[in-house]
Amino acid sequence: MVVPGSRGLLGGTFDPIHIGHLAIAEEARETLGLERVQFVPAGQPPHKPGRPITPATDRLAMIALAIEDNPAFELSRAEVDRPGPSYAVDTLQSLVDQARGSGRQPELVFILSDEALAGLPSWRNPRRLLELARLAVFPRGLVSSGGSDRPRVDTAWVTEQFPGFEDRVAFLEGPRLAVSATQIRERIAAGRSVRYLVPPAVLAYITDHDLYTSDDRRTNRS
Three-state SS at 109: strand
What count of Cα atoms within 13 Å lies in the side-chain half-sphere of residue 142? 16
Whether residue 222 lies inside any domain: the answer is no
Whether residue 166 lies inside any domain: the answer is yes
pLDDT at 136: 98
Distance set, CA 107 to CA 32, 51, 133, 169 (Å): 11, 33, 7, 14
Whether residue 190 lies inside any domain: the answer is yes
pLDDT at 48: 62
What does each of the 222 residues of the chain score in pLDDT, given as a tens digit? Answer: 899 999 999 999 999 999 999 999 999 999 999 999 999 999 877 666 667 899 999 999 999 999 999 999 999 999 999 988 889 999 999 999 998 888 888 899 999 999 999 999 999 999 999 999 999 999 975 433 334 455 579 999 999 999 999 999 999 988 888 899 999 999 999 999 999 999 999 999 999 999 999 754 444 333
Q: Helices 200-208 and 56-67 sit at what angle, rounded to 10 degrees?
A: 150
Whether residue 186 lies inside any domain: the answer is yes
Backbone angles phi, psi at 86, to 5 degrees: -95, 105
Cα 213–Cα 217–Cα 221 angle in degrees, nearest 5: 135
Q: How many domains does the chain have?
A: 1
Q: What is the CATH number of the domain that holds 169?
A: 3.40.50.620
pLDDT at 214: 75
Whether residue 44 lies inside any domain: the answer is yes
Pairing label, strands 169-171, 34-41? unpaired
Whether residue 201 lies inside any domain: the answer is yes
Whether residue 195 lies inside any domain: the answer is yes
pLDDT at 189: 95
**DSSP secondary-structure letter at 168?**
G
- Determine which helix (DSSP H) or strand (DSSP E) holds 74, and give its type and residue range: strand 73-75
Query: Domain span at residue 201?
Result: 3-217
Whether residue 43 lies inside any domain: the answer is yes
